[in-house]
Amino acid sequence: MAQDEILRCHELRKAFGDLVAVADVGFAIAAGETYGLLGPNGAGKTTTISMIAGILDRDGGEVLVCGRPHGPSSTWGKRRIGYVPQELALYPDLTARENLRFFARLHGLGRAEARRRIDEVLAVVGLTGRAEDAVKEFSGGMKRRLNLGVGLLHRPPLLILDEPTAGVDPQSRNAILESVAALAGEGTAILYTTHYMEEAERLCDRIGILDLGRIRAEGTRRELVALVGELDRITLTVEGPRVVPSLQALPEVRAATGHEGRVEVMVEDAGRALPRVLGAATDAGVTVRAVEVHEPNLESVFLHLTGKALRD
């Protein structure tokens, strides 16, 4: 186990009758790392994280939290996990503060510590001014933020987020994503499930692509894209002499074509190649009017690996 490894799961299996929901799923997450489980509805994401959170008994496999075996009866492990379920797991008749207090106390926080953490969490999720209001009076986005806040109360080293932005407005969604990024920055290991490709690309250091209960591929976004052999595309809008031969001479460039002032350059890593490409264009005496960068996304990776779109 790596020194800062917070979660390791190995060959997780779960079946419901004849339906195999999860088969031989395994991955590890280090402190400060955000790991995304990306897959369409029904892929097995929630079943996987339910087993990791200790909510669901597993049929096979192993879960280690901070190096210790973890399961439904492991209170030690559960103290180190913050779980934010996909559904809003809040009591609507209670106020935001009462909801937070209940879960804080349930996670073993003393009265004084709970009070302090509740105030901190309310500030993090932007609900300080609504702390004494009943949750049933909240908007969907506010409920989502509070739902996230409950998972943060006991400062868990591992935070499990099951589609935390499902059905929220763009503003709340952005607030949630920023909070998650900040938590990762503070060293929290985050397991994040989503079927929103943009979220996975924005937040996750590594991504596991899950389909039909199995991990089809795993790695950084770039590694996944490389896995399917797709290249980044830089499109230049230019004025001046022909620049294509100069660009083709660059080692980073796999291919370059030009037509009526538009030059398309295929590279492995647009971020690294772009300065050289622009430099070569300038050296060739052309004026670059516009630059567009197109990186292959996880949608295309998913399509390539599973033969279907992510939102199927």
Partner 1 sequence: MRATLLVMAKDLRQRVRDRSLFLLALVVPFGLAAVFSLVFRGIDAQAAPTIALADRDGGPVVTAFAEQALRPLERGGVIRLRPVAEEREAREAVERGEADAAYVVPPGFSDAVTEGRPATLQIIGDSGQGAYIARAVAESFAAEVRYVQVTLAVVDGGTFEGATLVPRPVAVEELGAERRQLSLAEGFAAGMAVFFLFFTVQFGFSSVLDERRDGTLARLLAAPVPRTAIALAKLLTGVVAGVAATAVLMSASALLLGARWGHPLGVGLLVVAGVLAASGVMALVATVARTAEQAGNLQSVVAVLCGVLGGVFVPVQQLGGAFAALSLLTPHRWFLQGLADLHGEHAPAVAPGPTLALLAFAAVTTGVALLRVGRMLRP
Strand order in the sheet with 19-30: 19-30, 5-16, 60-65, 68-69
Within the chain, how many helices (H) and strands (E) appear? 11, 14
Minimum Å gap between C-beta 17 and partner 1 is 14
Minimum Å gap between C-beta 95 and partner 1 is 9
Minimum Å gap between C-beta 162 and partner 1 is 9
Sites of contact with partner 1 (CB under 8 A)? 50, 53-56, 72-73, 75-76, 78-79, 81, 83, 85, 87-94, 98, 102-103, 105-108, 134, 150
Handedness of CA 289, 295, 299, 305 (dihedral sign): positive
Q: Which token pair is 38?
A: 């990306």
Distance, CA of 306 to CA of 231 (rounded, Å): 19
Q: Identify which of residues 114 and 180 has a Cβ nearer to partner 1 in the complex.
A: 114
Q: Let me know: does 209 contact 215? Beta carbons within 8 Å.
A: yes
Q: Which residues contact 18 (CB under 8 A, 6 or more apart)?
A: none
Q: Identify which of residues 105 and 254 has a Cβ nearer to partner 1 in the complex.
A: 105
Minimum Å gap between C-beta 251 and partner 1 is 51
Minimum Å gap between C-beta 70 and partner 1 is 11
Q: Identify which of residues 78 and 206 has a Cβ nearer to partner 1 in the complex.
A: 78
Q: Identify which of residues 85 and 208 has a Cβ nearer to partner 1 in the complex.
A: 85
Residue 144 Cα to chain centre, angstroms = 16
Q: Identify which of residues 167 and 240 has a Cβ nearer to partner 1 in the complex.
A: 167
Q: Which token pair is 248?
A: 């083709």
Minimum Å gap between C-beta 68 and partner 1 is 13
DSSP 8-state class, residue 28: E
Q: Identify which of residues 72 and 219 has a Cβ nearer to partner 1 in the complex.
A: 72
